[in-house]
Amino acid sequence: MSETSWAVIVLLAVAAFSIRVAGLVAGGRIRASRQAWMLEDLPGLIVVSLVASSLAGQSSSAWIAAGVALGVAVMTNHVIATMAVGVAAYAGLAWLGV
């Protein structure tokens, strides 16, 4: 490989490391601040936003399966059970031709 390629690799490695260190520093400062309460709900909010955006434009069977999965999530608060029941609901609806 040429010197230019090695320079790009080193530069990207330093940039990736710097981004991670900056995230650790920023995360530590946020955890020590008054806004730390927002971090508790952040993972759930991210999941909800990803699921909601992926449901846009989907079939009714996908919406029904998502509703079933939501019900299981509320009742059990168990991630694996929620995923398993949601997939089973979608597969069952597809098998029924809905």
pLDDT mean for each 10 residues of the chain (98 residues): 92 96 89 79 82 89 93 93 95 92
67 touches 82 (CB < 8 A): no
| Domain count within the chain | 2
| Same domain, yes or no: 15 and 59 | no
| Same domain, yes or no: 69 and 92 | yes
DSSP 8-state code for residue 98: -
What torsion do the CA atoms of 87, 90, 94, 98 make, to the nearest 10 degrees? Answer: 170
Question: For position 15, what pLDDT does the model report?
Answer: 96
Provide the 3-class DSSP secondary structure of residue 34.
helix
Q: What global pTM score does this model have? A: 0.57
* Residue 74, in any domain of the structure: yes
Question: For position 27, what pLDDT does the model report?
Answer: 82
| Same domain, yes or no: 28 and 61 | no
* Radius of gyration, CA atoms only, the chain: 21
Q: Nearest-CA neighbor of 62 among 51, 77, 71?
A: 51
* Residue 38, in any domain of the structure: no
Range of the domain at 28: 1-33
